[in-house]
Amino acid sequence: MNFDVVIAGGGPNGLMVASELALAGLRAVVLEKLTEPTGEQRANGMAGQVVQLFHRRGLYGRLTGDPSPPVPVPQYMFAAFPLPLADLADNPVYTVLVPQRRIEAVLAERALELGVEIRRGHSVTGFTQKDDSIVVSVDGSDDIEARYLVGADGGKSLVRKLAGIDFPGFTSDRTVSRTAHVTVPPSWRDPVTGGLLVPGYGVIPPFLHHRAERGLIAFAPFPDGRTLLSVNTFDLPEGAEPFDLADLRAASAHVFGVDIPLGPPAGDGPHLLRRLSGGQTRLAEHYRAGRVFLVGDAAHVHSAIGGPGLNLGLQDAVNLAWKLAASVHGWAPEGLLDTYEAERRPAGERVTMHTQAQHLLVGPGAEVSAMRTLFGELLEEPAVRRRIAELIAGSDRRFVPDLGELTHSGRPLLVDNTGTLAAVAAPWRDRVDVVTAPVPGATAMLVRPDCIVAWTSSSEHPDQDSLRAALAQWFG
């Protein structure tokens, strides 16, 4: 076998899987049906623990051009409510505002540096599973035999369908989302907040969803000069084909009762001009079928409200990759591969839950307005805001604090600041690195490659038996 793992799909999730596998010494090939990176405008950034994950792999500075580590944001949003976060200790919400094409470019560059083969213009057409391998049929090239196949091929995943994995959920057809890069006259910009100043209505704050009785609007003036306007309407017909700025302007007038003078976008493209009817919420019944695994949209599709998609999918990728590597290297404890679904499917359930909840809270009607009044009062409580912040960030698990370059390698780490644990970890020295580093509130900590804490101690004499059990549980 020339490759250990075949990855179907060369988007962010597939490229992240490939890079993590290569860090662990595996041979990976990415099959991407597009011959060139798409110029289509997709996500506008990342929010949640994935930002910290990029930093822990040494990719954050490459992505942003800023060598400083990321800092949590003082405010975010939930269901078109502003979510103040500055008063929360250990605020878990981080963001980075870069277009998805930049994220893909950085991940592709990283994968190539690590020796990943990226084959563009090729896609999976079928596969046959064997006892110890999988034979993948590829459009435009010979079959590839590997140990595993990862489906990172989107919401319409052929890999998922061929694996016979159900994709239950529902489709909603009440809403139409219209989004485009635009320009607005300077007089329509609020000089204090930078938001959209709508005469007779008020200010639409920047980078926050704003709910009105007839719809939802988001106004995003990005630092690079691009301005994005998104209008989500309820029970309003789609409009004429093809979609254009006049349709977007009519939809915004429907929501606010004011004609906003929208102009074409300035500067070089690509520029977004997209209209989507309805939406889907679906979660794969299983994330694994034998030697086939699903990550990202192949495993879950949901509303984009709050921007949870890349946070969820890229954490899928990092969780899966080290477990596949452990299996290929032969030291995976029994059942390790099954922990991928056991850990990540509940995370998918949480995201589909809170995006559905947010959609209910931004909907039309007096009943929703009453619910919003109550929910707004609950958000005044720090404990409630903390709970929602952790939901947004995907922080249901405990992540390791910043250890600098120690996490760049993707190796399991035993942080031992007591000097007593090297002998305990000696049987795992080929797969776990023993290091020292300041860790707030702990004297020792066992860290998985996906930066999740597997064991911790605050004692100067840590319990060695519990450490051995944790090492055996996760590292064979």
pLDDT at 37 over 90: no
Binned at pLDDT 50, 70 and 90, residue 39 comes out as low
Binned at pLDDT 50, 70 and 90, residue 269 comes out as confident
CB 110 within 8 A of CB 59: yes
**What residues does 175 pair with on adjacent strands?**
234
pLDDT in the model for residue 52 = 95
At 370-382, the pLDDT tens digits run: 999 999 999 999 9
Q: List, as own/partner pairs, every contact residues 108-112 make where C-beta atoms lie below 8 angstroms and the sequence separation is at least 24, other chains included.
A: 108/10, 108/15, 108/37, 109/62, 110/15, 110/19, 110/59, 110/62, 111/15, 111/18, 111/19, 111/22, 111/30
Closest CA to 338 of 291, 279, 398, 390: 291
Give me the mean pLDDT over the 384-404 stretch. 91
DSSP state of 186: G
Closest CA to 411 of 329, 291, 292, 288: 329
pLDDT in the model for residue 174 = 80
pLDDT in the model for residue 36 = 87
Please state whether the peptide bond connecting residue 242 to the residue before it is cis, i.e. omega within 30 degrees of 0.
yes
CA 67, distance to chain mean position in Å, is: 22
Give me the mean pLDDT over the 158-181 stretch. 93
At 220-246, the pLDDT tens digits run: 998 878 899 999 998 777 777 899 999
Burial class (CB in 10 A: 0-12, 13-18, 19+), 386: middle
Binned at pLDDT 50, 70 and 90, residue 41 comes out as low
Q: What share of the chain is helix, strand, coil (3-state, %, to 5)?
A: 35, 25, 40
Comparing 81-85, 222-226, 321-325, the range with the smallest average pLDDT is: 222-226
Give me the mean pLDDT over the 42-47 stretch. 83
pLDDT in the model for residue 276 = 87
Give me the mean pLDDT over the 51-63 stretch. 96
CA–CA distance, 77 with 84 (Å, rounded to integer): 8
pLDDT at 45 over 80: yes
CA 458 vs CA 388, 438, 442, 466: distances in Å: 28, 12, 4, 13
pLDDT, mean over the chain: 93
Give me the mean pLDDT over the 6-23 stretch. 97
Helix axes 309-329, 49-56, angle to 10 degrees: 50
Comparing 42-51, 235-244, 422-431, the range with the smallest average pLDDT is: 235-244
pLDDT in the model for residue 260 = 93
At 281-321, the pLDDT tens digits run: 999 999 999 999 999 999 999 988 888 999 999 999 999 99
Q: Can you give the pTM of this predicted structure?
A: 0.91
CA–CA distance, 73 with 34 (Å, rounded to integer): 35
Helix axes 100-113, 12-23, angle to 10 degrees: 30
Binned at pLDDT 50, 70 and 90, residue 145 comes out as very high
DSSP state of 85: -
pLDDT in the model for residue 225 = 84
Binned at pLDDT 50, 70 and 90, residue 169 comes out as very high
Cβ partners under 8 Å of residue 89, min gap 6? none
Closest CA to 120 of 22, 16, 9: 9
